[in-house]
Amino acid sequence: MNKPDDPVKGYCDYEPVDVAHAATGPLVGLSLGVKDIYAVKGYPNGWGSPTKLAETGVDDFTAPIIQQMLDAGARVTGKTHCDELCYSLNGINAHYGAPLNPGAPERITGGSSCGSAALVAASAVDIATGSDTGGSVRAPASYCGLVGLRTSHGRISLAGAMPLAHSFDVFGWFTQNIENYQKVGDVLLGADASDTPLTRPITIDALDNCLLGDAEREAYQGALNQVIEVLGASEKISGFRKPLNEWYWTMRKLQAREAWLAHADWITNSNPDLGPGVKDRFEFGLGITDDEYDECAIMRAEMREELAEILGEDGVLIMPTVPSAAPLRDASHDSLQDFREKALELLCVSGLTGFPQITLPLAKVYGAPLGISLMGPAGSDQRLIGLAKRIMGK
């Protein structure tokens, strides 16, 4: 097997492996890039870390969720770059660099699923897998002009995948078009447990106000009009009972504590040269006490209950995916960190509640992609994909 075409530097530099796949099935003819946190038999699994890569050999099994796609006919073309230990939202790995964003070459791809998003956006691969703990499917999808779903927490098994924060981690994937997205969804998700249609659109002013400026608001309004054309006028809510900043800090503390506990032994024993930002986040997690974690867990349950009441069984929340187009590649570390915090105020809502959120590439601002999101009740993943197909088909 020859090394695949890589116009955006999205693939890990691993020797290609012929991975067996079914000759028939709904994904036959579609190429698949696999984020370098999922086991694929014959490939290394480096987790975006040179230290981890040096310690590991090749995997002797394939993660069940990847095998499911192979059994449906998808063809693995290689493993894709990710942020170090997936603990970033920018797609800039201190050790491996940053893939190119084909939709806006002067801007970052977002992360941590950076290589996957870049390769799909470049049409170098039809499907690529990601994971979403804090926003690592939704942000790159918005930045690169792709469809991306944060699945309902726990709906898809993460066996054979790198853990980061267990109560947030979910599987996701990227495609350019909704037709291929739905094909993958049919294979991996099956039918939703409920068939109640999502017919009640909702917008929340506090979320819409996260857009950075007039240009973003104008671009987003155009996308919102496309959604309203299908779903009808939305019910408007001013905000949640707690300000978004409290949602953000609840997520940050829970996620950081879980991430530290997941990797504390390895970090302590292997002493990896963690890149800037990543090191800071693990150190932050080390400082979160059990009492702080428990207090945040109580707040999270209240937030989940509140959003469940807002959505009911038939509600669909329409919201910006991120505050603006992707930051510029030459932005300072402080500037990227500031944007990350603003983005997480939007992205944390799905993460904290576990409810599914799909982002659609319906807008552009400053000549770059900008996503709009639909969020539904827990377990409404397939119904969200169906809604997305109706909207994108207009």
Helices (H), 159-242: 178-189, 205-208, 214-231
Contacts of 337 (CB under 8 A, 6+ apart): 277
Contact criterion met (CB below 8 Å) for 34 and 78: yes
**Which entry of 49, 113, 131, 136 is annotated as an active-site residue?**
136
**Which entry of 112, 142, 324, 373 is annotated as an active-site residue?**
112
Does 152 qualify as catalytic in the annotation? Answer: no
pLDDT at 394: 61
pLDDT at 165: 98
Instruction: List the domain boundaries for the chain.
Output: 31-189
pLDDT at 5: 87
pLDDT at 281: 97
Please give the single-letter amino acid code of residue 391.
I
Per-residue HEC secondary structure of 40-108 comes to CCCCCCCCCCHHHHHHCCCCCCCCHHHHHHHHCCCEEEEEECCCHHHCCCCCCECCCECCCCCCCCCEC
Task: Look at domain 31-189 and name its CATH class.
Answer: alpha beta
Does 279 qualify as catalytic in the annotation? Answer: no
Per-residue pLDDT of the chain (394 residues; tens, 9 = 90+): 778 889 999 999 999 999 999 999 999 999 999 999 999 999 999 999 999 999 999 999 999 999 999 999 999 999 999 999 999 999 999 999 999 999 999 999 999 999 999 999 999 999 999 999 999 999 999 999 999 999 999 999 999 999 999 999 999 999 999 999 999 999 999 999 999 999 999 999 999 999 999 999 999 999 999 999 999 999 999 999 999 999 999 999 999 999 999 999 999 999 999 999 999 999 999 999 999 999 999 999 999 999 999 999 999 999 999 999 999 999 999 999 999 999 999 999 999 999 999 999 999 999 999 999 999 999 999 999 999 999 998 6
pLDDT at 272: 97
Does 35 qualify as catalytic in the annotation? Answer: yes
Sign of CA dihedral 91, 92, 93, 97: positive
**Which entry of 35, 52, 79, 183 is annotated as an active-site residue?**
35
Which of 155-185 are b and which e, b meaning 16 or more Cβ less than 10 Å from the residue's Cβ? bbebebbbbbbeebbbbbbbbbebebbbbbb
Contact criterion met (CB below 8 Å) for 64 and 159: yes
